[in-house]
């Protein structure tokens, strides 16, 4: 990767791996500027659909639970 400041060549001085993400500390060979880059896996269309489905299911469960809590609250008050 070229330096984001001067366009010179850069080297990776540190790499940190965590689930789903790689963080690299880079340094320009020419001007010495340091910066960090992040790499994340691109989600496939199928993974996006699965996440959307899980989100919708969770939203439905949450609505049901909210209604149940409202009913409990009104039962306690009356």
* Residues near Zn ion, by CB under 5 A: 3, 5-6, 8, 28, 30-31, 33
Tell me the closest approach of the beta carbon of residue 5 to Zn ion, in angstroms.
5
Q: Residue 5, SS3?
A: coil
- Nearest CB to Zn ion, comparing residues 11 and 15: 11
- Nearest CB to Zn ion, comparing residues 6 and 72: 6
Cα angle value 13/17/18 (rounded, 5°): 145
- Nearest CB to Zn ion, comparing residues 11 and 50: 11
Strand partners, 14: 25
Q: H-helix or E-strand containing 55?
A: helix 45-77
């Amino acid at each position: 990767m070229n330096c984001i400041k001067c366009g010179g060549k850069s080297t990776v001085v540190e790499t940190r791996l965590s689930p789903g993400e790689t963080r690299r500390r880079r340094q320009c060979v020419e001007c010495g500027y340091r910066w960090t880059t992040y790499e994340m896996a691109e989600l496939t269309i199928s993974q996006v659909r699965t996440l959307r489905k899980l989100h919708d299911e969770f939203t439905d469960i949450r609505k049901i639970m909210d209604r149940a809590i409202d009913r409990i609250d009104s039962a306690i008050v009356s």
